[in-house]
């Protein structure tokens, strides 16, 4: 039982909300403990508590039902396409809802778990549940951005300029931190100053290629975003 208590000039009022006999219907009961004559102000306060309790009962406004109705309206007459989550190797199934925009191009409306999948049965982890942002997000950066050391502003670069900068940084770091022989005299040929994290949206071929390139450079600190 949940109760709300208020004290005013008219005494102490207790509004209780209970589910008698295990019933699914929530009823609001007002239990009045009056120490003196009830004032109009206290009566209005108790009435407000009763209305608030009723609003969250099955007789009042149901937020879950309203959300479901909004979802149905959003994907009405949309095309359903089944796909696989691009993140970890579990392989959760997804349903993508699309509809042509004013230019006739497919517009992605919503992505949700596929309830018919034996793998995830409609469920998605937090990463999978936000997969829509991979395709459409107003916060997505569409161009390479660079901020020089000590600077406060970002500047847009071309892809060629950014790749040249990355290649130079990797070369400089590798030359500076390359270890040919460890302290015990073992030949190791490793790089201690660079680490690499693979993306969970990598295909198998991309992951294989990235691992080969990084190992070829001598990196030993390799990780996969899907493990995070």
pLDDT single digits (tens) 149-185: 999 999 999 999 999 999 999 999 999 999 999 999 9
**Domain for residue 100, yes or no?**
yes
Q: Identify the domain containing residue 196 by its residue range.
A: 145-227
**Environment class of 6 (CB within 10 Å of its CB; exposed 0-12, middle 13-18, buried 19+):** middle
Worst-scoring range by mean pLDDT, 18-22, 87-91, 136-140, 186-190? Answer: 18-22
- For residue range 190-217, what is the model confidence (pLDDT) as tens digits? 999 999 998 777 778 888 999 999 999 9
6 and 42 Cβ atoms separated by less than 8 Å: yes
| Residue where a domain terminates, one of 115, 135, 155 | 135
Report the CATH number that the domain containing residue 114 is assigned in CATH.
3.30.200.210
Q: How many residues does the chain have?
A: 228
Is 67 inside a domain boundary? no
Residue 70 counted as domain residue: no
Residue 205 burial (C-beta neighbours within 10 Å; 0-12, 13-18, 19+)? exposed
Q: What is the structure's pLDDT at 228?
A: 63
CA atoms within 13 A on the CB side of 94: 21
* Residue 121 to residue 125: CA distance in whole angstroms: 12
């Amino acid at each position: 039982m949940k109760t709300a208590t208020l004290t005013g000039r008219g005494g102490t009022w207790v509004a209780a909300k209970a589910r008698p006999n295990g019933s699914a219907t929530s009823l609001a009961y007002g239990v009045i403990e009056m120490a003196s004559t009830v004032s109009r102000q206290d009566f209005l306060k108790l009435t407000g508590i009763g209305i608030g309790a009723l609003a969250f009962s099955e007789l009042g406004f149901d937020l879950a039902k309203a959300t479901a109705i909004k979802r149905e309206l959003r994907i009405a007459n949309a095309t359903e396409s089944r796909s696989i989550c691009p993140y970890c190797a579990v392989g959760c199934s997804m349903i993508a809802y699309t509809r042509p925009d004013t230019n006739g191009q497919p517009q992605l409306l919503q992505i949700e778990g596929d309830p018919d999948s034996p793998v995830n049965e409609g469920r998605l982890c937090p990463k999978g549940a936000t997969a829509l942002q991979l395709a459409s997000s107003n916060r997505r950066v569409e161009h390479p951005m660079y901020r020089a050391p000590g600077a406060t502003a970002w500047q847009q670069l071309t892809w060629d300029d950014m790749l040249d900068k990355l290649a130079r940084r990797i070369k400089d770091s590798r030359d500076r931190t390359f270890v040919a022989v460890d302290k015990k005299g073992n030949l190791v040929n490793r790089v201690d100053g660079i680490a690499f994290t693979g993306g969970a949206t990598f295909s198998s071929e991309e992951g294989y290629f990235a691992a080969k390139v990084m190992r070829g450079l001598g990196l030993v600190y390799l990780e996969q975003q899907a493990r995070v």
